[in-house]
A and B are shown apart, each in its own frame.
Chain A
């Protein structure tokens, strides 16, 4: 009765629904993010849909990085390390670890075309409470400032990327599966770091990401005239491998570490020089009486001394004899297992070059949805959507009291949602409430358009030829196309600007309108034609 050539629009719609169905249900396309861990919600459901935090539960943290940056600085002949030290000395609130000097390619050594695009050297200070003025003054005092030097709030892109990488490591190391870290830029050009972790509450995520995570080992030793000196003997990057945190035999816990070969002899020497490796080792009473103790090793995490321990006689012997450097293993002693785990995570992930800024003025946001709330939202918004569709169906049936017009209308409108859901599943776009609002908008405009088509086509009674149908259909389409164009224009600013929470809404409304106008709504015209003109 109907051949495919005449009903190609319907055929196209069926093809699209099948593809969408495949994307939605096929287990072969199920999310497999490998090491990063698939989204918790996605694995627990029968479809391939991924849910955003609003619908699955978890924490989202968005914050800028603490820091001020000076661009177009000239280091002269100094190394970056010397620059960092010199600038830090001029600043009251910052140590050398808070200053990052980066050399761009010196303009003179480049061909002139490239020199324009290359950035010159920068100095960043990532300590809290350092203002742009203070940094500018420090640069003037050290003589690194040039005519072009500009000091601004914020950090460089290289630092942000490093933060993102380290935070991702930290989240993976802490075993929070499905957590993601990314850099986002607002329309005003402000940069934020966005952290999303499923199934974790806000305080634990914040604790994890807000620590700088610096771990250093310092030697604390008497200098002979009654006072003590503190020297950094091992830094984060001096470790070659980091073992798993273990419980010690006599209480406490430790992390077994291997010092990298290049640093080992130096460390060995400093142990001997500071007296830590003296005959019989040292007994450390730093915690009880720091002014009256033998030499100690201090474990300093985030700038605070978390533990102090002496040297065992055996280890002291191998250090003195120089054997230790052949097999440079060592145990970082901590007071308890959770501290040992923290140290291990921080050592493996690395220290953050800059901290996330959670202060009120910073422009950060924190949100947490409990997993039960997410599950409730998922089911309830589905129910809400179904009820809304039923309401639409009811109205349409009452209005036309003709199943041949109304039933295909509902089916067509729903097929738009199926196609969009398939699209979301196919590209792995996480569904959240704003996307669901987009679906509702699509059903709304979709049914409106179908009503226009139906009324136009059915107007003035009988349709007795294909030509009459075509001309009426085309007239209806003018209105639909015009309305679709305005909707797309109205939504496009939100789709492009990353207003975060409304972007999904805008993207899916536009997609829905495009799919509707190009695929589903023309198909409805064909269905209507075959139902109203053929059996005549």
Chain B
């Protein structure tokens, strides 16, 4: 049977410290970026209007982009915060910050209609509802992570392998968050959904690896290779699907799906690194030199 080869890494050539160094360094950089963001902007991530409050209007305009943007600026009494274009559809996404005394969603809609723009969608969130959503989203993420950690500890009942899974999952969430900051992707309901999905995805391959190494007889490296063959296939399949989904959703202007896809691609790539470098090195340390058992 011919398979596309999941390369067999010769882990014996590297020490645990060498293996763990890369993912830990990346994690530290990611945390620094988030901390830096917090210091500079007062918020650890860029928040979209679902969390800060504001109005988003989508209009369809034919013609060149610069003319369209000019038309948009003239249509509204308020100054747009951002104008983005959706490729292939001549649709422009305009966001407005929420301010006291501003015209509001219905007012903006009317202005757009008066200016003869084809309004595709309008959505507005008030600031206080946004901050409620924020509390709920962060709380949900926190509870989900906590629940996952408790479950992992209950399943393996040994400290080092369990904490390895939890650290990997943590890093799988933090790295995409940092990348979102760097690439200017805003935290939206879609990206929160993606971060939650990441908890599930990242634990999949970690549990698989732990299970193969801890519960199966056989040589450590052989078990590792077998777990890797399955795990890497899983993650690569998901990454492929998500890359394709991100590209199509971006072309079609379905922001929710594009945001989910982007964050998952980052997270899954981080998961590959964390599982097979960080988690593996911790497991090897536990198996060979670990606490007296």
With A366-B122, A381-B254: A360-B100 Cβ-Cβ less than 8 Å: yes
B193 touching A370, Cβ below 8 Å: no
B122 touching A502, Cβ below 8 Å: no
B241 touching A487, Cβ below 8 Å: no
A367 touching B257, Cβ below 8 Å: no
Interface size on A, residues (CB 8 A): 82
Question: Chain B residues near A486 (CB, 8 Å)?
Answer: 147-148, 151-152, 199-200, 203, 207
- For B93-124 the 0/1 string (1 means CB < 8 A from A) is 00000111110111001100100001111111
- For B24-63 the 0/1 string (1 means CB < 8 A from A) is 0000000000000000000000000010010000100000
Question: Chain A residues near B148 (CB, 8 Å)?
Answer: 486, 489-490
Shortest Cβ distance from A41 into chain B, in angstroms? 16
Instruction: Find residues 131-168 in chain B having any chain A CB closer than 8 Å to their own CB.
Output: 132-133, 135-137, 139-140, 143-145, 147-148, 151-152, 155
B257 touching A373, Cβ below 8 Å: no
Q: Which of B121, B145, B207, B256 is A373 in contact with, Cβ under 8 Å?
A: B121
Shortest Cβ distance from B169 into chain A, in angstroms? 9
B207 touching A483, Cβ below 8 Å: yes
Q: Is B83 an interface residue (CB 8 A)?
A: no
Bound-state Cα–Cα, A445 to B196, Å: 13
Instruction: Find residues 148-206 in chain B having any chain A CB closer than 8 Å to their own CB.
Output: 148, 151-152, 155, 189-190, 192-193, 196-197, 199-201, 203-204
Q: Is B85 an interface residue (CB 8 A)?
A: no
B122 touching A489, Cβ below 8 Å: no
Q: Is B78 an interface residue (CB 8 A)?
A: no
Question: Chain B residues near A143 (CB, 8 Å)?
Answer: none
B123 touching A493, Cβ below 8 Å: no
Bound-state Cα–Cα, A463 to B6, Å: 23
Q: Is A399 an interface residue (CB 8 A)?
A: yes
Q: Which residue of A lies closest to B150 (CB)?
A: A489
Q: Is B252 an interface residue (CB 8 A)?
A: yes
Q: Is B237 an interface residue (CB 8 A)?
A: yes
Question: Chain A residues near B207 (CB, 8 Å)?
Answer: 479, 482-483, 486
Q: Is A141 an interface residue (CB 8 A)?
A: no
Q: Which of B136, B152, B208 is A187 in contact with, Cβ under 8 Å?
A: B136
Q: Is B278 an interface residue (CB 8 A)?
A: no
Chain B: interface size category:
35 or more
Q: Is B125 an interface residue (CB 8 A)?
A: yes
A203 touching B110, Cβ below 8 Å: yes
Q: Is A285 an interface residue (CB 8 A)?
A: no
A188 touching B120, Cβ below 8 Å: no
Q: Which of B128, B192, B256 is A363 in contact with, Cβ under 8 Å?
A: B128
A203 touching B257, Cβ below 8 Å: no
B144 touching A491, Cβ below 8 Å: yes
A384 touching B254, Cβ below 8 Å: yes
Shortest Cβ distance from B168 into chain A, in angstroms? 13
Stretch of A163-171, A319-327, A430-438 on the interface side: A430-438
A483 touching B200, Cβ below 8 Å: yes
A387 touching B245, Cβ below 8 Å: yes
With A396-B237, A482-B155: A369-B120 Cβ-Cβ less than 8 Å: yes
Q: Which of B120, B126, B140 is A360 in contact with, Cβ under 8 Å?
A: B126
Bound-state Cα–Cα, A436 to B129, Å: 24
Bound-state Cα–Cα, A371 to B74, Å: 25
Bound-state Cα–Cα, A456 to B201, Å: 19
With A395-B240, A483-B207: A361-B127 Cβ-Cβ less than 8 Å: yes
Instruction: Find residues 385-400 in chain A having any chain B CB closer than 8 Å to their own CB.
Output: 385, 387-392, 394-396, 398-400
Q: Is A266 an interface residue (CB 8 A)?
A: no
With A433-B254, A444-B241, A489-B144: A206-B106 Cβ-Cβ less than 8 Å: yes
Highest count of chain B CB atoms <10 Å: which of A366, A399, A443, A490? A490
A368 touching B119, Cβ below 8 Å: yes
Q: Is B270 an interface residue (CB 8 A)?
A: no
Q: Which of B106, B120, B193, B244 is A434 in contact with, Cβ under 8 Å?
A: B193
Bound-state Cα–Cα, A104 to B93, Å: 51
Instruction: Find residues 13-67 in chain A having any chain B CB closer than 8 Å to their own CB.
Output: 62
Q: Which of A395, A455, A483 is B237 in contact with, Cβ under 8 Å?
A: A395
Q: Is B248 an interface residue (CB 8 A)?
A: yes
Contact surface of A with B, Cβ cutoff 8 Å: 62, 186-188, 190, 201-203, 206, 358-370, 372-373, 376-377, 380-381, 383-385, 387-392, 394-396, 398-402, 433-434, 436-437, 440-441, 443-445, 447-448, 451-452, 455-456, 459, 475, 478-479, 482-483, 485-487, 489-494, 497, 499, 501-502, 505-506, 509
Besides A187-B136, A434-B256, A491-B144, 19 new A-B residue pairs in contact (Cβ under 8 A), listed by A number: A366-B122, A367-B124, A370-B119, A370-B120, A395-B233, A401-B4, A433-B254, A433-B256, A434-B189, A434-B193, A436-B257, A440-B260, A448-B234, A448-B238, A455-B233, A459-B226, A491-B196, A497-B140, A499-B137
6 CB < 8 A contacts A-B: A201-B109, A370-B118, A381-B252, A391-B240, A487-B203, A506-B196
| Closest 8 pairs (CB-CB, A-B) | A367-B123, A487-B200, A489-B147, A380-B252, A366-B105, A490-B144, A391-B244, A455-B230
